[in-house]
Amino acid sequence: MPKPSFWVLGGIGVASGFMSALFGVGGGIVVVPLLVLLAGFDSRAATGTSLVAIFITALSGATSFSLLDHVHWRDAALVGLPAVAGTFAGVRLQSRVTSGSLTLLFAVFLVVVAVVLFVE
Amino acid sequence: MSVETLLLAIALGFAAGALSGMFGVGGGVLFVPTLAFVVGLGQLAAQATSLAAIIPVVAVGAWQQHRAGNVRLREGIAIGVTAIVGVLGGAKLATALPEDLLRDLFAGLLLVVAAQLGWSARGSLRSQGSPSGPPGR
């Protein structure tokens, strides 16, 4: 696999960090496709590598917002710790039930949540 | 916080983790609405708290992927460390924007993620039986 330049990695980093802090998400939506498109990663390596980047990103984002007193740590544990258990179930389910139609159903669900957020 | 709210938040947290494992969509996309609607945080607090909730999820995910040999550590660290610059800018903007606008922007992000998922589903619907992409996005 090619060795990406520092500038490519740095560009991906700055872009993903910006959107991570702006939206409260990890930034994988940006990191994974950019690693594939700009750095020549295969999707498996892109996904694995993105998690290391997201760990540092989320840590710095949570720290920044915490200094501004916006982080509710107890609530973070309330959803974050069950989610750790959930990922194990999800990865196990993935090989068995994930299909095009299920993915589509999830996409429709996200659209519904988006509409609810818009009207709120 | 009532017992019902507590249990619902735990259940949705678990579901967020399961869905992220299944579809490779990060937990944040689901943490933010859960924290806003169920826990009752404002949009900015929900987003900030979501970032904290992501930490244990990606820590475990990164460790698993590392053991599976899917992690290029040097590149991951380079992206993560340079991301701090972007984080400072993004945090500054997020705290400056009115929460209504922040919420609408987040809803727009959900539509983009939904479109991305729809696009990938289109491919796998056409070629039934082919393996789907890896988890962890």
Query: Per-residue pLDDT tens for A29-55?
Result: 899 999 999 999 998 899 899 999 999
Provide mean pLDDT across the span B30-35: 95
User: Mean pLDDT of all residues in chain A?
Assistant: 91
Sign of the CA dihedral with A34 first, then A18, A52, and A76 last = negative
Q: How far apart are CA B124 and CA B132, in angstroms?
A: 7
The pair phi, psi for residue B70, each rounded to 5°, is: -100, 5
* Size of chain B, expressed as the number of residues it contains: 137
Cβ contact (<8 Å) for B14 and A86?
A: yes
Give residue B117's pLDDT band: very low, low, confident or very high (50, 70, 90): confident
Distance from CA of B4 to the nearest CA of A (A): 13
> Exposure string (b/e) for B96-108, b if CB count within 10 Å is 16 or more?
ebeeeebbbbbbe
Q: Which of residues 12-31 of B touch A (CB under 8 A)?
A: 12-29, 31
Distance from CA of B3 to the nearest CA of A (A): 12
Provide the percentage of residues in chain A whose pLDDT is more than 90. 68
Give pLDDT, residue B91.
Answer: 98
